[in-house]
Structure 1
Amino acid sequence: MPSFDDIFDAIAGAARMMGYVCAPSLLQKVVAACAKQNLMPDLSSYRRNRDALYNGLASFGYECMPPDGAFYLFLKAPGGDGDAFSEAAKAEDILIVSGRSFGCPGYVRIAYCVAYETILNALPGFGRLYQRFCK
C-alpha cells in the first residue's frame, strides 16, 4: 500500500498538471500565434528580478543555481527540510513553496514573477532566515 507521502505527492502533481502550474491550452495557442508574427516578449523584468533574487540569496550564502528560462529558482533549503524552511519563511512575510511537491525534496521553489520591489523587500527576510538556519 502506498504511503501517505506517496499519495500526497501524486495528488499534488496531478493538481499542478490540471492548470495550477501548466499554461492552459488556449494561452499556449495565443503564444504560438504571437511567435508566428515575430512578436517577442519583453523579458527584461524577469531578468532583473532573477538577477536581484539570485545575487541577493548568493550574497547571504544560500546554495542555488541561477535559472535560465524559468520564472522561479530552486534554493537548497538550509537544514535540508524544504517544508520547515518554507513554513519559517511565512514569519518573514515570504511565501515560498517546498520543493517536495515538485519532486525536489530538500529544496524550496521561489517564484520571481512578482514586482521588483517585492524581491527587494524580501531579501532582508531571507538574510534573517539564513542567520537563523545556518549560523
Structure 2
Amino acid sequence: AVYTCDTLTRLANVLREANAQRDPENPIMLISDEPYREIVYGAEVPWVPSIYEHTIVCYSYSKSLSLPGERVGWILVPNTNPQAARLMPAVAGAARTLGFVCAPALFQRVIIDCIDEPSDVEAYARNRTALTDALAEYGYTYVEPDGAFYLWVKALEPDANAFCERAKKYELLAVPSDSFGMPGWFRLGYCVSYETIINSLPAWKQLADEYR
C-alpha cells in the first residue's frame, strides 16, 4: 500500500496532539522507511518530512536498483526536523558503533555509477499482471499492490502455515502471514524473471485444484 497525503496528514495531526502532552525535547519521531519509493504503479508517493516535521527518512538502493543483500543506502535527518542538531550526530555515531552496517567501498562506487538509473518498474508491472490475472482465474483472493513487488494472497485454508507447506510439493515457496501478524494469508515475491512467473502458473492451478 502507498499511504496517501490525506492519511499521512491525519496521522501527523494525531502525533502532534500526542506531542503536546510530552516533553518538547522528546517528541514522537516518525521513521519513514522508503526503499520501494520508486517502485509504484501509478500511485503518488508523498514526501513525509513535508507533512510531519519530526520525521527521519531511511532508504536503500537494494530494492530500487535490484541489488539484494548489498544494503547500500542512507538515512536522512532533514534540516526541517526541530531535533536535527541532536539526531544527526546520533545517527552517525550509531553507524560507527554498529560497524557491520557500513557498506563496502566497492558497492559505494557501484552506487555512484548507478544512482541515476531508473527502477525497472515496467518489468515488475508485467509480472504483477501475469500473476494476478492467473491467480484470480484459479480462485485465489489477493490485495492489489500499489507498489513494491510482493503480492498478499489469502490462503485456501485457515492455516497459512499448512497451506504453504502443501505448496512446497509444487516447488512453490510462499511466506505465511502469521509472522506479519495476520493469519490466513501468505506473501509472494514477483521480483523474478517473467519466465519464472509463467512457469509457476500451472503449479498454482494444481494447488488450487487440491482444495476444490
TM over 0.5: yes
- TM-score, normalisation: structure 2: 0.47
Which of 13, 28, 34 aligns to 2:73? It is 28
**Structure whose alpha-carbon radius of gyration is higher:** 2
Does residue 67 of structure 1 match 2:112?
A: no
Does residue 49 of structure 1 match 2:127?
A: yes
Give the strand-richer structure, 1 or 2.
Answer: 2
Amino acid in the other structure paired with 1:55: D
1:26 CA displacement: 5.0
Structure 2 unaligned spans of 5+? 1-58, 63-69, 75-110
Q: How does 1:1-135 map to 2 (within 5 A)?
A: 23=60, 27-29=72-74, 34=115, 39-133=117-211, 135=212
Amino acid in the other structure paired with 1:118: T
- TM-score, normalisation: structure 1: 0.72
Give the Cα separation in 2 of the matches to 1:56 and 1:127.
8
Give the Cα separation in 2 of the matches to 1:85 and 1:105.
11
Equivalent pairs counted in the alignment come to 109
CA offset digits 1:13-63 (Å, max 9, x no partner): xxxxxxxxx9579522359x93xx5x4222111111111111110111100
CA offset digits 1:84-131 (Å, max 9, x no partner): 111011100111110111222100101001111111111111101111
Amino acid in the other structure paired with 2:159: D
Give the Cα separation in 1 of the matches to 2:181 and 2:194.
28
Give the helix-richer structure, 1 or 2.
Answer: 1
Structure 1 unaligned spans of 5+? 1-21
More relative contact order, 1 or 2 (CA 8 Å, 6+ apart): 1
Give the Cα separation in 2 of the matches to 1:26 and 1:106.
31
Please name the residue that 1:6 is paired with.
Answer: none
User: What RMSD over aligned residues (CA atoms) do the two structures have, in Å?
Assistant: 2.3
Amino acid in the other structure paired with 1:44: E
Give the Cα separation in 1 of the matches to 2:208 and 2:131.
14
Amino acid in the other structure paired with 1:28: G
Give the Cα separation in 2 of the matches to 1:114 and 1:95.
13
Give the Cα separation in 2 of the matches to 1:118 and 1:44.
16
Mark the CA change 1:69 to 1:91 in structure 2 (over 3 Å): closer, same or farther: same
